[in-house]
Structure 1
Amino acid sequence: MTAASLQDSTGRKLLRRLAAAWYGTRLYALTLPRKAPLELPVLPDDPWTGTVGNADRLFQGRFVFAGAEVASPHAAPWSITPGEAGLDAASHAAWAAGLHGFVWLRDFSSQGGDMARRMARSLVADWIARHSLSIRGLPWQPAIAGRRLTQWLVASHFLLDGADDAFGHDFLLSIARHAAYLKRASATAPAGWPRFDATLGAVYGAEALGHAQDKSAIQALCAALDAQVLADGGHVSRNPSLLYRMLRDLVALWRFLQAVDPERAAMLQPYLDRMAPMLRTLRHGDGGLALFHGGEEENAAQIDLLLELSDAKGKPLASATHSGFERAAAKRALLLLDAAGPPPRVAGTKPHSGLLSFEFSHGKDRLISNCGASRRMGGNWATALSSVSAHSTLCLGGKEPAASAAVSVSRNEQDGAIWFEAEHDGWRAACNRIYRRRLYLSAGGEDLRGEDIVSEGANPTNGMPVEAVLRLHLHPGMHASLLGSGDTVILKTSSGQGWRWRGMGGVVRLEDSVYLGVGGDVRRTQQIVMAGSAGAEPLVFKWALTKIN
């Protein structure tokens, strides 16, 4: 898998612009169905639940998507501009994509009741009246249209129950028009996640309208998956949350196809069999996901349900070499190591540069973590959280490691103990330094030791010193106290367990930090910092984290 597989050529970008211009014409609109189907032969179910709290906000006219909230208590918010929303262009586009994608119908369905059904139906009807005849702009980008068609179909039972004939006619006609549009337009969606969303909607549309004899949609979906799902089941972004969300979509479709089209369901089975074990690989003891490359914890109960419904029995991987992760499990302890270079840019997001960062948990207690990522597009938060200093690894000279850094990791095991020897050359060009990291986890899981080494590269620099800072970000469930000796930190977890961290080779201090692992909300926490100066001789930070029994 290469970054080029997710990049569009200049020719494809031009084709996409020309296609969008054609789809926006009145002549093209005349080619779409003008007669509603009498019924949909088959309707999918939605195995996933929404959030009642989100439904309550929607009732109040508060529309929260992509980390941004826009209030529109008296009218549907389809036409709100960036200025009216108080958002920059990128944040508004991300918010509008969530709005027009209709994933929030799941929240109304979870709340249930006639009032929720009527409001959901009213918003769908209003969207159809405003946008169904004009195939142009952001609402009709293939990825957004594909996501919307998927959500409309899985919510069809909820929306159509008790609906009048006028809504039923307009709804079914719009579904037919969406399906016809996506059959042609999904191929022009940008590479990566947008093409997955577009082709996913095309598959649902073909099956729901009884066009299963046409295999082009499912073949296009498999091609989109081949470009994003790595050989070990990881997502090319190396983001655990994106892996989780893609697997959710695939499991829902797979279950639908098992009932109506087993041959096509079998085409998806190999992806589920690879992705589910990889998702297990990236879970901590509390059931949530690790925070690498923009990921969040996600909902542990929903992850449990997803893995159960996937029917994939594969165990977690110790070494996920294609996805670039190492997993060391000892008794109740778990160490996850980022063991590869930065991923390719996906969907316009900046890759995280936390080379050789790690997370550590014991039982359901997360101790050492990365900071996470902001759901807002762009801005200072996104830049800061993707930087090396927002990860539990070493920072050198205030510089980011090069995106082209070479990373190597070797894994060793003996008598139940596991240790890693790793290095990267991300600062070779900037200051001629090599970073080496050694991590050791005892067989009992109650002793984690680290050695972080900064040494000169092949070309001597006359001993010009460079500031080195080791950062170990603590989960907000931890309470930390620096002892008077200045080299020891006492940690207490939310479950009441005690741990002792001790370091040597640098100046130790506790500093404030942030954690954005749950819903993008900013939570205050702390970080253990060890600082020193790397000159002509190697700088060595040694530290140990030991459970207090």
Structure 2
Amino acid sequence: MAGLRAPRLPGRHLALALVAGAGQAVQEEWRASPTWRWAAARPRPDGFGIQARDFRPVDPEAGRAIMAGAFVLAGQTLAVGIRGDPWDRPSPSRPFAEALHRFEWLPSLIATGPDGAAEALRLTLEWRRLFGRWNAFAWSPAVMARRVFNLACAGPALAARASDAETARIAADLARQARDLLAAGGAEDAVERCVCAAVAGAALRGPPGRKLLDKALARLPRALAATVGADGGHATRRPDLALELLFDLQTLDEAMVQRGMAAPEGVQRAIDRLAGAVRFFTLADGSLATFHGGGARTAPYVAAARAQDEAGDRPLPSQLGGYERLDAPGLQMVADVAAPPAGVWSRSASAHPLAVQVLAGGRRLIDAGAGRLIRDGATMDVGERGVGEVLAGHVAKSLGPRLVDSDIFVEAQRHEAAGALWLDLAHQGWMPRHGLVHQRRLYLDTEAGELRGEDRLTPTARAQGPDGRHFVPYALRFPLHPGVQAMVSQDKRSVLLRLPGPGAGWILRNDVLDFSLETLTPGPGLLLVLRGQRRADSGARVRWKLAPARQGVDGPKAQA
């Protein structure tokens, strides 16, 4: 039957991990060898020719903190003292160490002025002394790509404070790392590696820089085709990665203009498509929709990319990248209406079919999910086992924490009428185990500013039999955005949701008997859970409505 998952082979992930692990080991051994290090270091560039521009906003305060002796990266702080060395001591976490070796601190430090540039030069030369030959962590593709990009953009500022010999060493190191990028990694990071290497080639002066640029550009079209969809959606289905790639391509395009060259047509086309995707995913608060492990980014950060968009106020599409967007005065909703990404693209993906994100009054009210499994998402869960699993252990060391067994068949229909927009959605993820189809109708009353939902578990022929007579528990979940307060009403049929700041709040009503508030895991915030159980052969139905609270009417009935 259409939509059923194909039989799985036992040990398939282990076999794939063994092959991938062996390939990674061979690749890493070759890249660490003296022969490759010698070849990647030649020919040597003649220094820096242009000032590549990163369009991302820079926070000079972070640079001033470094000047005062504290590195603040990945939400953590490492105190090293004034002119201290972060390279000779343990990092507080792996994310901190990755940000440190990616040189994420470099733009902010240079933004503080000449003294900051001098300190950046010192830190760069010290990193070179300790890690410049080879280090498996520091030279891993995901870490090295961002370091190459940041060094390429900061090169002239460093050179202005460096001696001729120091400038030559930094330029040579940048060329070697960029060449190494083109010999490392896999399909999931190919586009980032190519773009970062191309930016480095554009920034370096002389024939070596031009040769590096040409080599990276030759590989870029294939990587872009695999990563950016025809509508601008990223293969990971993460809006924030579409934004980051847009920033990188804008830098490459501008760097090539400085060199008197035109970016390839494929780069221009990708920029246009990604810009359209960023417009689609930018919500009423100026930040991005958050799905599949992506971050919202700040409104100024998103605006910096959109400032380069020449499309103006072109009308938004209603669907893009497997998402549907519904807008009304006071309410905004984005729904995930496609299967999660698969394979190498699923390392941060979530099994949240038909999940929704809701903004009320331009502020985030309901998030799509707080974790990666279906029990963490703003959707319906059935039984004890969910849809999809996350690889762990030794297999994940080679393949990454991929989402597997989540190839869910999803259907979506959009309808529009005077004063109303609605979606009819369905997925068959519960067919193999329970013989049930999850159907979800989302109805946005654009005049009343209300969102009405109906979630059904519809039995199929598979559920019509002796096995269909047992009771199946189900749960409908709404992860609340951090900071949203919730109070359950006396009749246990509604909850008052209050956003930070003034306002009467919003009422979520429902028709289930078991309704509870729980703490979100992981992360801060609350989780609304609507539970029930029905026989598999009879299915289930839950109706709910989100509407503005009436000041002085709904509020007083609520109790903590």
TM-score, normalization by structure 2? 0.82
Name the CA distance, whole Å, in 1 between partners of 2:253 and 2:448.
38
Q: Check the 8 A contact 1:337/1:358 in 2, yes or no.
A: yes
Taking the aligned partners of 1:103 and 1:407, their CA distance within structure 2 comes to 39
Report the equivalent of 2:508. Answer: 501
Q: Which of 457, 466, 470 in structure 1 is aligned with 2:472?
A: 466
The aligned residue for residue 438 of structure 1 is 441
Which residue is 1:397 aligned to?
A: 383
Range that drifts further, 347-356 or 286-295: 347-356
Q: In structure 2, what is the equivalent of residue 422 of structure 1?
A: 425
Does the residue aligned with 2:429 lie in a helix, a strand or coil? strand
**2-structure distance, mates of 1:86, 1:207:** 35
CA-CA distance at 1:70 after TM superposition: 5.5
Q: How far does the alpha carbon of each residue in 1:371-430 deviate from its partner, in whole angstroms, 9 at most, with x for none? A: 44xxxxxxxxxxxx1121222111211321241221111111111411111111212222
Checking the alignment, whether the CA contact within 8 Å between 1:450 and 1:543 is kept in structure 2 is yes
Q: Please state if 1:206 is matched with 2:201.
A: yes
Alignment counterpart, residue 26 of structure 1, candidates 31, 34, 41: 34
Corresponding residue for 1:173? 172
Residue 324 of structure 2 corresponds to: 326
Following the alignment from structure 1 to structure 2, what is the Cα–Cα distance between the partners of residues 12 and 256? Answer: 35
Provide the C-alpha distance between the structure 1 equivalents of 2:203 and 2:284, rounded to a whole number of angstroms. 40
1-structure distance, mates of 2:158, 2:331: 46
What does residue 518 of structure 2 align with?
Answer: 511
Q: Name the residue aligned to 1:191.
A: 187
1:356 aligns with 2:363: no
Q: What is the CA–CA distance in structure 2 between the aligned matches of 1:13 and 1:513, rounded to whole Å?
A: 35
Partner secondary structure for residue 342 of structure 2 = coil
| Percent of aligned pairs with the same amino acid | 26
Structure 2 runs not aligned, ≥5 long:
1-15, 389-405, 551-560
- Deviation of 1:125 after TM superposition, in Å, equals 0.5
1:7-156 map, 5 Å: 17-33=25-41, 37-56=45-64, 58-59=66-67, 63=71, 65-66=73-74, 76-78=85-87, 84-85=90-91, 92=94, 94-110=95-111, 112-132=112-132, 134-156=133-155
Contact preservation (8 Å) 1:20, 1:136: no
State whether residues 199 and 221 of structure 1, in contact with CA within 8 Å, keep that contact through their aligned partners in structure 2: yes
* Structure 1 residues 28 and 510, CA gap change in structure 2 (3 angstroms): closer
Q: Any conservation in 1 of the 2:70–2:78 contact (CA below 8 Å)?
A: yes
CA–CA distance in structure 2, aligned partners of residues 365 and 226 of structure 1: 35
Asked whether the 8 Å contact 1:147–1:200 carries over to 2, the reply is: no
Amino acid at match of 1:507: D
User: Which stretch of structure 1 is more off in the superposition, 401-410 or 61-70?
Assistant: 61-70
Equivalent position of 2:240 in the other structure: 241
Q: Distance in 2 between matches of 1:445 and 1:305?
A: 34
Unaligned 5+ runs, structure 1:
1-7, 373-384, 516-521
In the TM superposition, residue 68 of structure 1 has moved relative to its aligned partner by 6.0
Partner of 2:299: 300
**2:256 alignment partner in structure 1:** 257
Q: Note the C-alpha offset of 1:127.
A: 1.4
Distance in 2, Cα, partners of 1:54 & 1:347? 32
Q: Count the aligned residue pairs.
A: 507
Give the letter for the 1:539 counterpart: A
Give a deviation string over 1:120-177, Cα, whole Å, max 9, x none. Answer: 1111001122233x24523233443332222111112332233334432322232333
Whole-Å separation in 2 of the counterparts to 1:37 and 1:488? 67
Alignment check: 8 A CA contact 1:410 1:420 kept: yes
Distance 1:427 1:11, change over 3 A: closer
CA distance in 1, matches of 2:443, 2:345: 36
**Counterpart for residue 382 of structure 1:** none
After TM superposition, give the deviation of residue 56 of structure 1 in Å.
Answer: 4.9
> What does residue 288 of structure 2 align with?
289
